[in-house]
Chains A and B, each alone.
Chain A
Amino acid sequence: MAIITISRGSYSMGKAVAEKVAEKLEYCILSRDLLINASASFHIPQKKLEKAIHDAPGVFEQYSHTKEVYLAYIRSTLTEMVAGGNIVYHGLAGHLLLNRLPHVLKVRITANLESRIARKMKEGFSEHKARTMIIEDDGQRTKWTQKIYHADPNDSSLYDMVICIDKLSIEDAVSFICQSASKKTFESTSDRIRQAKDLSLACKAKASMIESFPEVGITCEYGNLLVYASEKEAHMAKFKKILDAFQKENVGIHNLEVHTGLPVPANAV
């Protein structure tokens, strides 16, 4: 009943691994559907969301926070979609977007550069072109993770397991992942499902506020939402209006509190 995120570089066979894992465990598989759903929910063109989750922020984007806004939309959609468990997500940044949940098995599939280039060349690209494209793509991924999450995507400590598909085959990787996912550590207990739902609610609240109040921090426990904002923000009419509307739309909220002048906790979204 786990949630499995499979991170991969392009042409590292991560997609094939994810599909086989989902088939073997009879889990739902999620990748591009995330962006389609996020696009439909927040009325943002899919292309823009894809760019936000793939490309590193440019010079001007760093000041406009557009990427953070889109990312909050994507995260809100993802947390809602995975809350029930039994899911394999092999899209971008799953291990970072869901890092607060304890029952997420975070896997990275790697392969050496030469074998990745060979796979890309099968699509009709020259060796030089294939190499350039893969290196550029890896560079974008690294920059994105560094700028948004201040982490290195190649840092193994971000994952529970890193498997190199060179000596080990796709079947081996599938077998390792399925074995690990069935362990107690990754079981979806009622408490963990509650945590996933709380995270989903917090992310949803953040998504509704981020455009106007990007600095706001939100936590949620047992359906109790705590909003951390500055004194100035909390007294604005727009702030109250957004929160009221959010509370009306979401029946799952037991209580909503606004805290001002307090530091935003580390576990806030």
Chain B
Amino acid sequence: MPILILSSENKDLEQEIAEKIAKKLSYTTINEHFLNKIADKHLLERKKMWEAMHSTPSILKRMSPKLWHYSLSCVELEVLERLVEDRCVCWGLAAHLYVMIVSHVLKVRLIGRNDSCSQSDIVKMAPDKMKKYLARQERDREKWSMKAFNRKEAEPGLYDMVINLDQIQVDEAVNTLSMTMEYPRFKAMTYSKNNLMDHVLAARVKNALLVKSMTDIHVHTQNGRVVVTTSSVKREKSRKIETIKEIASHVKGIGYLEVHWNKDIITEAAISCR
């Protein structure tokens, strides 16, 4: 069954549309409140988990890049595990940035109606102030999505559809999206389910490696075959490969594993200059 992923800067509107669609199609919902469950499951602070989803790592906020990446990987893993169950409307968890090329997932961005401001914010703010506030929010969001997933959140190419709600009414958008979800091409097929399972497997491996403080890793999965790409100085090559193999071998669902190693030229040069 299809999955709908919504993305918008206007949280109130996003929630309203998501809930209406979920109700109409009798789908389950998954949103930001799921972050608390994820934090509890992975023994992380709830506050830090919310912070990781909204801002980039910073010393001032006492959020190290390692903790930030690990928190995001936990979110990615848990959201993907949840999406495998199908018939779901997901929003507020940045899933559009890590669920790529899965045919039964419809990704939609909602824009307009004073993006990023909830109605209560709009009432309080002066127009000039609001304009600046929106611009800053947009910059921060772009910075976050680029750092986290190397993708611009506002890029229309990430979505199957972008709907501007300045002219189009909420109910019209709900009807259009509900109707689209019913199309046969959005039904979950074996191929697309396997695709999503590959995403889940990659997220499991990445999460397992990050929990052991492994850095510089990229995980790619295709048909259950996992390829981990990493880099380090030459003298650490075999130790790093062995560690990755050891950690990844305990991941649920793993079959074939390959580790690709690249030389970390910058660190190597720095060491040789000492």
Q: Mark each residue of chain B from 162 to 186: 1 if its CB lies under 8 Å from any CB of chain A, else 0.
A: 1110111100100110001001010
Contacts of A160 in B (CB 8 A): 163-164, 166-168
Count of inter-chain pairs, beta carbons less than 8 A: 71
Known: A162-B159, A167-B103. A156 touches B168 (CB 8 A): no
Cross-interface CB contact of A161 among B106, B161, B169, B183, cutoff 8 Å: B161
Q: Which residue from chain B places its CB closest to the CB of A179 in the assembled complex?
A: B176
**A156 and B167 contacting across the interface, CB-CB below 8 Å:** no
Q: Which residue from chain A places its CB closest to the CB of B105 in the assembled complex?
A: A167
**A156 and B154 contacting across the interface, CB-CB below 8 Å:** yes
Q: How far is the CB of B133 from chain A (nearest CB, A)?
A: 16
* A40→B63 CA distance, assembly (Å): 65
**A162 and B156 contacting across the interface, CB-CB below 8 Å:** yes
- B87 located at the interface, meaning its Cβ lies under 8 Å from any Cβ of chain A in the complex: no
Known: A180-B168, A185-B168. A164 touches B161 (CB 8 A): yes
**B164 and A110 contacting across the interface, CB-CB below 8 Å:** no
Q: How far is the CB of B110 from chain A (nearest CB, A)?
A: 10
- A157 located at the interface, meaning its Cβ lies under 8 Å from any Cβ of chain B in the complex: yes
- B160 located at the interface, meaning its Cβ lies under 8 Å from any Cβ of chain A in the complex: yes
Contacts of A161 in B (CB 8 A): 161-164, 168
Residues of B21-36 whose CB lies within 8 A of A: none
* A218→B180 CA distance, assembly (Å): 44
* A163→B176 CA distance, assembly (Å): 12
- A262 located at the interface, meaning its Cβ lies under 8 Å from any Cβ of chain B in the complex: no
Residues of B133-165 whose CB lies within 8 A of A: 154-157, 159-164
- A183 located at the interface, meaning its Cβ lies under 8 Å from any Cβ of chain B in the complex: yes
Q: Closest 5 A-B residue pairs measured CB to CB?
A: A162-B162, A156-B162, A160-B164, A162-B156, A156-B156
| Interface of B toward A, CB cutoff 8 Å | 103, 106, 109, 111-112, 115, 154-157, 159-164, 166-169, 172, 175-176, 180, 183, 185
| Interface of A toward B, CB cutoff 8 Å | 102, 105, 108, 110, 112, 154-157, 159-164, 166-169, 172, 176, 179-180, 183, 185-186
10 contacts between A and B (CB under 8 A): A102-B167, A110-B157, A156-B156, A160-B168, A164-B156, A164-B161, A167-B185, A168-B160, A185-B167, A185-B168
